[in-house]
Amino acid sequence: MSANFSHLCLTEEQQRMSGTNLEYNLQRYFYPALAIFGILGNVLNLTVLLNRSMRSRANSFLAVLAFADIIFLFLLFPNILANYSFFTFNWYFRWFYLHSKVHLISLANWCSSVAHWCVIAVCADRLLGIQNPLYARATWRWWKLPLVTTVIVFTCGLLTCYQHFEYFCLVRSYCRETQLYSRCLPVNAEKWFGHRPNPFSTRYQSFIAMCKLAHIFLMIILPIILLLFLNLTLLWALRKRQKHLSIGKDFNADRRQNDVHMQKTEHRVTLTVTFIVTMFTLTNGPSALVHLVKNATHEELYDLTMISSTLVICGKASNFILFCLGSKHFRLRLLKLTRKKINRKIDSITGSLVHTTKLSTASSRRTSMPVQEKKRSSSCAPLVTKNRALSTVETIYQPLLNGTRKGDL
C-alpha cells in the first residue's frame, strides 16, 4: 500500500527520524559511544570466555550472552545514523531504514530475550553448583550444552517473531519522489490511514495481541522474577555453606585448606554472577514496568520507553566492567592473553622486518655479481682454444659454468 504526493514537499523538521527531542539527543550523542564501548567490551569478554582454559557451562552461557549483546548493539547503528543529517536526508538510507526499522527492532528484542535466559541459565547453574558440589565438578555430555543453547535461541525467536508483523508501515513519496516519509500503525489500531476501516481481520488482531502478552510475560516479567528469586537463593545458599565450613573444626589440615580454597573460589564466582544478575535486574526491570503504564500521554510514554531502553543498553555495555570488577581471575587472564597477543604481534613484525632486510641484501648482492664477473672476464679474454676463439658471453660466464679456468685443467 503506497501513495505518491509529488506536489508536496516536506520540511527538514517533518523529515526527522526521532520522535522526541530526548530520543534525538540520546541517539545522536550518547548511544554511539555507549554502543562502541559495549561492543569492544563484549569482544574482550569473548576472548577470555572462549579460551580453552576458561571453558565451563557458566562461561559458555556467558559467551552466548556476549554474542547476543554484540548483535543487539550493532543493530542500534541504523537508528543512530538516522539522526545525522547526512543520513537523515539521504533517499537511499531512508528507503532502507523506513522499510527495515520494524524488523531491526524485532531482531534486537530477540537478542535481548536470548540474553535474559542466558543470565537465568548462568544463575541456575551457579546455584546448583553450590547446593551440589558434585554437579559443579561434573561435565555435561557433548550434546547437552548445544541443545540447551539452541532451545533458548529458538524459543526466544519464536516468541518475538510476531513483532515483524505487529505494525504496518506506509511509505510515501513526496516532492517529485525525492523525499520519503513513513508512518507505522499497529495492526489492531482502531483508526486507519485515510479514515478507512482496519483491513486486518479480528482473528489476526487477537492473535497478535495474544503474542504480545505472551512476550511481555515470558520474555520480560518472568525473567525478572526468576532472576530475583535465583539471586536471593544463591546468596542464601552461599551464606549457609560458609557457616557450615566455619563450624567444622575436626578436619585435618589438608582437608581444611582444600575447603577454604573451594570456599574462596565459590565466593569469587558467586560474587561475579551476583553483580551481573543485579545489574541486569536494575537495567531491565524498568522496561517491564513501562509495559504496565497506561495512564500516560503518547509523548510521556515515548520518553519513558526511551529511558528504559537506555537503561537496557547501559546494562549490556556494562558486562565488561562487571567482569573486571568482580573477578580477579578474569582480569589476570585478560592481561595474560593481551600480553601474549602483543608479544606475538611484535615477533611477527620483527620477523617480517628481518626477512625484508635479508631479501634486500640478497638482491643487492645479485646486482653486484655481473659487474664483478665482467671484470674477471676481461683478464680471461686472451684464453682461447686451438680451433676457435670464445665468444663474449662464453668468456664472461665460462668461470661460472666450468667452476675453474681453462688454464687450471
Domains of the chain: 12-243+263-336 (1.20.1070.10)
The tens place of each residue's pLDDT in the chain, 409 residues long, gives 445 567 789 998 889 988 889 999 999 999 999 999 999 999 999 998 888 878 888 889 999 999 999 999 999 999 999 999 999 999 999 999 999 999 999 999 999 999 999 999 988 988 888 777 777 667 888 899 999 999 999 999 999 999 999 999 999 999 988 899 999 999 999 889 988 999 999 999 999 999 999 998 999 889 988 988 988 888 787 777 666 656 554 555 555 566 566 666 666 677 777 777 888 888 888 887 787 665 555 677 888 889 999 999 999 988 888 877 777 778 888 888 888 888 888 888 888 788 778 777 777 766 665 555 545 544 444 433 444 333 433 433 343 334 433 333 3
Terminal Cα-to-Cα distance of the chain (whole angstroms)? 98
Cα distance between residue 113 and residue 125, in whole Å: 19
C-alpha cell at 55: 571453558
What was the pLDDT predicted at 192? 92
Q: Looking at this protein, which amino acid is placed at residue 165?
A: F
Cα distance between residue 217 and residue 221, in whole Å: 5
What was the pLDDT predicted at 368? 60
Our CA dihedral for 376, 378, 379, 381, rounded to 10 degrees, sits at 120
Cα distance between residue 282 and residue 291, in whole Å: 16
CA angle 29, 32, 38 (to 5 degrees): 135
Cα distance between residue 83 and residue 73, in whole Å: 16
Q: What is the DSSP-derived secondary structure letter of residue 396?
A: H
What was the pLDDT predicted at 353? 81
With a CB cutoff of 8 Å and minimum separation 6, the contacts of 373 are: 396, 397, 399, 400
What was the pLDDT predicted at 286? 85
pTM greater than the 0.85 cutoff? no
List, as own/partner pairs, every contact residues 78-81 make where C-beta atoms lie below 8 angstroms and the sequence separation is at least 24, other chains included.
Answer: 78/104, 79/17, 79/27, 79/31, 79/104, 80/27, 80/28, 80/31, 80/32, 80/35
What was the pLDDT predicted at 397? 38
In the chain, DSSP finds a helix count (H) and a strand count (E) of 15, 3
Q: Where are the alpha helices (DSSP H) in 172-221?
A: 202-216
CA distances from 107 to 24, 102, 185 (A): 22, 9, 19
Question: Which residue has 567490551 as its cell numbers?
Answer: 41
List, as own/partner pairs, every contact residues 40-45 make where C-beta atoms lie below 8 angstroms and the sequence separation is at least 24, other chains included.
Answer: 40/320, 41/317, 41/319, 41/320, 41/321, 42/66, 42/67, 42/69, 42/70, 42/73, 42/316, 42/319, 42/320, 43/70, 44/320, 44/334, 45/319, 45/320, 45/323
